[in-house]
């Protein structure tokens, strides 16, 4: 795929070439809660996909499914 010079790169998370894309439909109340979570994350506010990754990682750490160590960040950024 080639990029067109008239299409502006909107930034976002850099592609890692790793990880599986996951499509999730959310009801309005859950989406509002996610947006509130993202807003509370500070500046710069994370994108919705990044907010989902952070919320999921927080939950999985709290439940013991994801290590609480610094290495757990690797699972979020796609390098682990």
pLDDT digits (tens, 9 = 90+) for 2-54: 555 666 666 666 777 788 989 999 999 999 999 999 999 989 999 999 999 99
Is the separation of the CB atoms in 48 and 35 below 8 Å?
yes
Domain extents for the chain? Answer: 28-77
pTM for the whole thing? 0.67
| Distances from the Cα of 2 to the Cα of 5, 6, 17, 79, angstroms | 10, 12, 17, 25
Spell out the alpha helix ranges (H) of the chain. Answer: 28-40, 48-62, 72-77
């Amino acid at each position: 795929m080639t990029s067109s010079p008239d299409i502006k790169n909107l930034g976002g998370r850099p592609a890692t070439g790793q990880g599986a894309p996951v499509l999730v439909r959310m009801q309005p109340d859950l989406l509002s809660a996610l947006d509130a979570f993202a807003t509370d994350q500070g500046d710069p506010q994370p994108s919705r996909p990044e907010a989902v990754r952070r919320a999921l990682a927080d939950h999985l750490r709290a439940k013991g499914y994801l290590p609480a160590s610094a290495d757990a960040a690797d699972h979020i950024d796609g390098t682990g």
